[in-house]
Amino acid sequence: NAGVTQTPKFQVLKTGQSMTLQCAQDMNHNSMYWYRQDPGMGLRLIYYSASEGTTDKGEVPNGYNVSRLNKREFSLRLESAAPSQTSVYFCASSARTGGLTEAFFGQGTRLTVV
Amino acid sequence: EDQVTQSPEALRLQEGESSSLNCSYTVSGLRGLFWYRQDPGKGPEFLFTLYSAGEEKEKERLKATLTKKESFLHITAPKPEDSATYLCAVRSGSNDYKLSFGAGTTVTVRA
């Protein structure tokens, strides 16, 4: 049981380049999330998908787009990368949004924009 | 806006030296408080969920407790393998869809 799988694990981009971070979960969860983690700031929500077919902005959505491809997969796209997007990106999933439902995280993608 | 503050930022312990980590929160209607462990280069790993003041949860050498304003993660007789960053997160009535995280406490246990 792999849980939440993210690809790639590492990426270096030049300013202005685009890329898509992939995420897949095998736990039959309804909800999926993208977070970024920066030193001293904790994890911040970029976008989330409460269920298949829906996506919503989190607290730091600017410069990103997402696609909930199906129940298993949720991708994050950077259209024109900027140095401020250098971060570690985590995908997570949960059975549903809200309440006491815990979220399970992938191993992360370390992105550097030069 | 939900606020989660963890202290201390870093904690160095001798093996067997028990200690506590603090997570204080300001939210509009707590829906759940979560503790995660994060090892270097890895994603957060779920530990506990707490909801009601007075609630306690235990797992091996870890015990989490909850009051109306803060949560504590007690580490009893820690071992080097307990070295990690411990993250606290909350869900609130105003932001029920997301987890709001603190910056974490990095614990280092020396043999």
Give dist(CA B63, CA B19) in Å, integer. 11
- Residue from B99, B105, B106 to probe the interface with A (highest A Cβ count within 10 Å): B99
The beta-carbon neighbor of A108 closest among B43, B98, B102 is B43
Confidence of residue B105 (pLDDT cuts 50, 70, 90): very high
Would you say residue B97 has pLDDT above 90? no
Would you say residue A1 has pLDDT above 70? no
Collapsed DSSP state (helix, strand, coil) of residue A85: helix
What is the longest distance spanned by two Cα atoms in chain A?
A: 40
In the predicted model, what is the mean pLDDT of chain B?
A: 95
Would you say residue A3 has pLDDT above 90? yes
Would you say residue B40 has pLDDT above 80? yes
Q: Give all strands (DSSP E) within A1-114, no chain letters.
A: 4-7, 10-13, 19-25, 31-38, 42-49, 56-57, 64-68, 74-78, 87-94, 104-105, 109-113
Strand partners, A69: none
A107 shares contact with chain B (CB less than 8 Å): yes
